[in-house]
Structure 1
Amino acid sequence: MWNHKDSYRVRNGIVPASAIEHSSLGLVFFPAFDWKISSTHPERQERLLYTRDQIVEEGLLDVPNIREYNPIVADWDVIERVHVGAPDLQSWVTDAHRVSAGGAIAAADAVLQGEVDRAFALVRPPGHHAMAMVHGIRGFCTINIEAVMIQHIRQTYGVKRVAIVDTDVHHGDGSQDVFYHDPDTLYISFHQDGRTLYPGTGFMDEFGGPQAIGANIDIPLPPGTGDEGLLKVMRELVLPILHEFKPDIVINSAGQDNHFSDPLANMNVTAKGYAELVDLLQADVAVLEGGYSVQEALPYVNTGIILSMAGLDYSCVIEPNYVEQHQSANVTKYIDDLIVKWKQQWARRDEMAREALVGHTDRWVHDYSVYYDESGVQEQRRETVRLYEDKIGWHSIESYGNYGPYAKQSVYAMFIPWQADDATREEAFTEARKAQQRGGLQRYVVVDPLGSGQIELKGK
């Protein structure tokens, strides 16, 4: 579990994590040989095959404190406590998705059962663009691997406060969506500015839902950010926020597409920079997300991350096509200013939480749309949050899908918070049945993550 004492020493630059002690590390590999979007698509099995070859060549699987684990198949019950599908999850979720999520679960189990100190799940397909509602594939993602894993560890081990630090170059809008109304799950994403990159989201005003202000931290970085900028954000902003939040466990959504050679982005981070970033963070579990420079970057970034998580020397990890990267003075100034703005906003979070409720009584309603780029579906949503003065309320989604292979799909989904008491749970079911009686949608579903799971309401 996350060691606050050692992490404090690391965060404040007193010693590198690797100087504290060697850590036992669990590794899970799942390259998903039978799943790809297309034969030339960047999200294909080669993403992990080159990495596997590199790790074997370096003899890392023979290191005494590194242990390999097999993935498992995630149960439908766990997935359905996170996601609702249109027309259903089975229309979109393949065996490969279930094993990818199961690989993350196997990594978390190894840590939480005390078999290893940390674990890294090198799995695909990725998941951080997958939202609670699933109308298809978004940003190469169908189900949210980390969210399913977190659901599992809350069910199995009673873990409460969770922090996710997303180091992918793209904003993890799916992870944000799943946890946006949960004050006990801190989601931190630093990524290339959404004005310059998919999915076009991830800005400072996306600060958490009305009952979870401050639980969502989006740090949009300028193109051209290098090791210097990413490490400064980690040291001066991310780690102090984690220290205040005091999570029980820290998850790293370990995207690697900030690398200078990645074809889908415009950042300048090196393999060694990633290793140092991981060294500072000291996450309990890392889960692979993006990264599409399959030969020039991934084998070396993953090697650096593995060495770093195992507390081993990563100073000699250098890419064959390495060219010294220089972060411009303009980029450095932009990042310095952004850190100052974020510190000011973080300090105002209690005031902002009060401001978020102005004009609302017992309901908060938000209308918006979501586009599924790989499936051609345009989803329209109405989200309603039940506001209480002294506890976390339910939230519902009325979802309408247009175009795509399952056109005109409509679903009402009621999401009960995992912290719900009996009264909140009863009111949520009552609200869902009222929606069902009003009619107008094809399916009515209640998701009770630490209760009865996903329940399909039938009849009137």
Structure 2
Amino acid sequence: MLKAQNRLGIIFFPAYDWAISPTHPEREERLLYTQDQLREEGLFDIEGITEHKPDIATAKDIERVHFCFPDVSEVTTKSHFISAGGAIRAGRLVMEGTEDKAFAMVRPPGHHAMKCVHGNRGFCNINIEAIMIEHIRANYGHKRVAVVDTDCHHGDGSQDVFWHDPDTLFISLHQDGRTLYPGTGFPQELGGPNAFGKTINIPLPPNTSDEGFLYVIENVVKPLLDDFKPDLVINSAGQDNHFTDPITNMNFSAQGYAKLNELVNPDIAVLEGGYSIQGALPYVNLGICLAMAGADYSGVREPNYDPDQLRQPAKVTDYIKDLSDSIRELYFDPPRGNIEGRLVNGMYVRDKSIFYDTDGINENQVESITKCDDCPGVLKIESRSTVNPLSVGIQIPRNCCPKCYAKAMQMWEDAQIKGNYRYLKLINLKDDDIQSFGF
């Protein structure tokens, strides 16, 4: 009889009424097969493992994270509110001590949704992990958080959201962007000037197997987590590194995912990608659940698993070892000369072009952040896209210093009076206040 060492809460939301298209890889069957498998395996008969219903996120929950243009209702559906609410419920279960750990198995996913949202990119409209994290900080006090993104695709949206946040360590393990969407996530992408070194990318070569992933966890991820000392560890739990996934090129197994979870030891996991609906997801999710519960997962095996056939080539092993050494050095001694952007009137400025592959939208941004030694700085983004005219978003950090707060208020006033903006958004995390205008 299996026994749970940790109380584990599981939240399901298959989103029956949301799909990009009826045959799209990101569809409700991703979770329906998993639900059936977990029940057939008797997961919920294990004492200490409990199923919970999702919350429903509010517009304010979303607006703590995103500048949605023209507004939240135009870029979301009810399913997005419930998916984000499922992640929020997972956070509440852990923060209130109802469960030791929680796994939100929900869709639609979120880790490709960036700070500004004009539509859907990479199957994502809003970033459900980021929404959960800011809900936790608003309701349970400010926390240092580490996000370990194990999706096969680089978590470019989460990177963008946390780029200027020194209290969030974002680590992404993913297939090398030279070989897979979204084509980003390289080691030199280290974060903004006030959070430099708090973004860590580990681009792995195609055909990486259990050996390579677990080597990186042991030799890079765990040392970084030990140094950062987060209050919470979140696993952005994409499962498309599996050897049967139809849109990626990795050789990870269900056992490997379970072992990874045991080593990272997250407080909360939130489902992201994974498109081998029958051959991988039911087994990977079962292994993750057992690992989070502290139960024996050694009997979890997916069909057609052959470790000898999946073993990574020696050159892949050597590459990963060298990469791991360089990543550790980048974290512990980040090269300050690599900071992106130009310094203009006390603000770091960078230009960004973003393509929304799902909706076919092009966006151009001018992003500015105040240079500050006392707080994360005030963020300003001027954004225009093929669906929205010039708009602006300003964010005041939760622990904003008085000087930056005054500058932010002046920027907000100038944007309303002098700016030629169609939509204006203010995220005031310090006062937990959201303001929005349209002209």
User: TM-score, normalization: structure 2?
Assistant: 0.96
| Alignment pair present for 1:430 and 2:423 | no
| Alignment pair present for 1:87 and 2:67 | no
Structure 2 Cα separation of the partners of residues 359 and 143 of structure 1: 30
2:106 alignment counterpart = 123
Identify if the C-alpha distance between structure 1 residues 283 and 456 changes in structure 2 by more than 3 Å, giving closer, same or farther. same
Structure 2 Cα separation of the partners of residues 28 and 376 of structure 1: 32
Q: Is the 8 A contact 2:138 2:432 kept in 1?
A: no
1:105 alignment counterpart = 88
Identify if the C-alpha distance between structure 1 residues 113 and 353 changes in structure 2 by more than 3 Å, giving closer, same or farther. farther
1:13 alignment counterpart = none
2:324 alignment counterpart = 339
Count of residues paired in the alignment? 436
| Alignment pair present for 1:373 and 2:353 | no
Give the partner amino acid of 1:328: P
Q: Describe the superposition over 1:104-130 as per-residue Cα deviations: whole angstroms up to 9, x where unpaired.
A: 111111111111111100000000000
| Alignment pair present for 1:401 and 2:388 | no
Give the partner amino acid of 1:425: Y
Alignment equivalent of 2:420, drawn from 435, 440, 445? 440
Identify if the C-alpha distance between structure 1 residues 359 and 457 changes in structure 2 by more than 3 Å, giving closer, same or farther. closer
Q: Is the 8 A contact 1:400 1:410 kept in 2?
A: yes
1:9 alignment counterpart = none
Give the partner amino acid of 1:390: D
| Alignment pair present for 1:390 and 2:374 | yes
Tell me the CA shift for residue 457 of structure 1: 4.5
Q: Describe the superposition over 1:261-318 as per-residue Cα deviations: whole angstroms up to 9, x where unpaired.
A: 0011000000000000000011000000000000000000000000100011111111
| Alignment pair present for 1:266 and 2:284 | no
Alignment equivalent of 2:205, drawn from 210, 222, 237? 222
- Deviant stretches of 4+, over 4 Å: 353-361
Q: Describe the superposition over 1:361-419 as per-residue Cα deviations: whole angstroms up to 9, x where unpaired.
A: 611000010000111110000000111233221011000101xxxx2432100011122
Structure 1 gaps of 5+ residues are: 1-17
CA RMSD of aligned residues (A): 1.8
Identify if the C-alpha distance between structure 1 residues 358 and 139 changes in structure 2 by more than 3 Å, giving closer, same or farther. closer
Q: Is the 8 A contact 2:70 2:388 kept in 1?
A: no
Q: Describe the superposition over 1:173-200 as per-residue Cα deviations: whole angstroms up to 9, x where unpaired.
A: 1101111001001100010001110011
Tell me the CA shift for residue 348 of structure 1: 1.4
SS in structure 1 at match of 2:295: coil
SS in structure 2 at match of 1:391: coil
1:8 alignment counterpart = none
2:121 alignment counterpart = 138
Give the partner amino acid of 1:370: I
1:15 alignment counterpart = none
Structure 2 Cα separation of the partners of residues 222 and 361 of structure 1: 41
Structure 2 gaps of 5+ residues are: none
SS in structure 2 at match of 1:308: helix
Q: Is the 8 A contact 1:170 1:191 kept in 2?
A: yes
Structure 2 Cα separation of the partners of residues 256 and 376 of structure 1: 26
2:227 alignment counterpart = 244
| Alignment pair present for 1:419 and 2:399 | yes
Give the partner amino acid of 1:339: S
1:362 alignment counterpart = 346
Structure 2 Cα separation of the partners of residues 399 and 294 of structure 1: 37
Q: Percent identity?
A: 52
Structure 2 Cα separation of the partners of residues 389 and 311 of structure 1: 42
2:35 alignment counterpart = 52
Give the partner amino acid of 1:352: R
SS in structure 2 at match of 1:385: strand
Q: Describe the superposition over 1:320-378 as per-residue Cα deviations: whole angstroms up to 9, x where unpaired.
A: 122221110111111011011112222312x5279779966611000010000111110
Structure 1 Cα separation of the partners of residues 390 and 72 of structure 2: 14
Structure 2 Cα separation of the partners of residues 195 and 293 of structure 1: 23
Q: Describe the superposition over 1:224-267 as per-residue Cα deviations: whole angstroms up to 9, x where unpaired.
A: 10100000000000000010000000000000000000011000
Structure 1 Cα separation of the partners of residues 98 and 179 of structure 2: 42
Structure 1 Cα separation of the partners of residues 388 and 56 of structure 2: 31
Give the partner amino acid of 2:353: S
Structure 2 Cα separation of the partners of residues 280 and 198 of structure 1: 27
Q: Is the 8 A contact 2:150 2:236 kept in 1?
A: yes
SS in structure 2 at match of 1:409: coil
